[in-house]
Structure formats: C-alpha cells, structure tokens
Amino acid sequence: MRKAFVMSVNPGSEAEYARRHNPIWPELEVVLKAHGVQNYSIFLLAETNQLFAYAEIEIEDQWARIATTPECREWWHHMADLMPHNEDHSPITEAAVEVFHLD
C-alpha cells in the first residue's frame, strides 16, 4: 500500500528537522521496518514549510501500531519543538488521497 500525508515544520526549524532525520535513530528504523514500512521519504516544500511524506506499507494496522511503540513516542517528543503537534506530541498530519499512480 502507498501512504502519503502532509505535516509542517516551524519556520526557521527546517535545517534542524533535516539534521535530526539524517540519520534517524537506529531503533526507530528497526521499528518502522518491523512494522512493514518501506521506501519512506519526507520532502520539504520550502515556500510553505509543508512536509510531504510518502511510505509504502504492508498493512494499515501495522502502520497504526507504530504509534504505540516507545521508540515512536520518544521520537515525537524529540521532534515536538520543531513542528506543530497534538497534545501527545504526535505531529499534526493530514492524509493525502491518491488520485493518480503510474508504475
């Protein structure tokens, strides 16, 4: 399955956001891969500070379970100062609906 969503980064935090992702924590990478995530990319639209994320996942339920892991929760806390976030520190996201695909 292809999954895409949009988030944003606070103005002036773009470089730090990129730095914290390069590389991501090894333990978070293990969690993502163990939950069937592949080809995960995040792109920055510099003019609007929007982040466009794309991932290929095996099963939607596995994707949802990532949010329950301690590694993911810790990552959210680590990133919360750089992005708009919910009360639990998860980033505010909006799902993108696929309207076209070409293999």
3-state secondary structure of 94: strand
- 89 catalytic? Reply is no
* Residue 62, amino acid: Q
Count CB-CB contacts under 10 A for residue 98.
10
Task: Assign residue 16 a region (left: φ > 0; alpha: ψ between -120 and 50; beta: otherwise).
Answer: alpha
Q: Among 21, 35, 85, 89, which one carries the catalytic annotation?
A: 21
Q: Which residues are annotated as catalytic?
A: 21
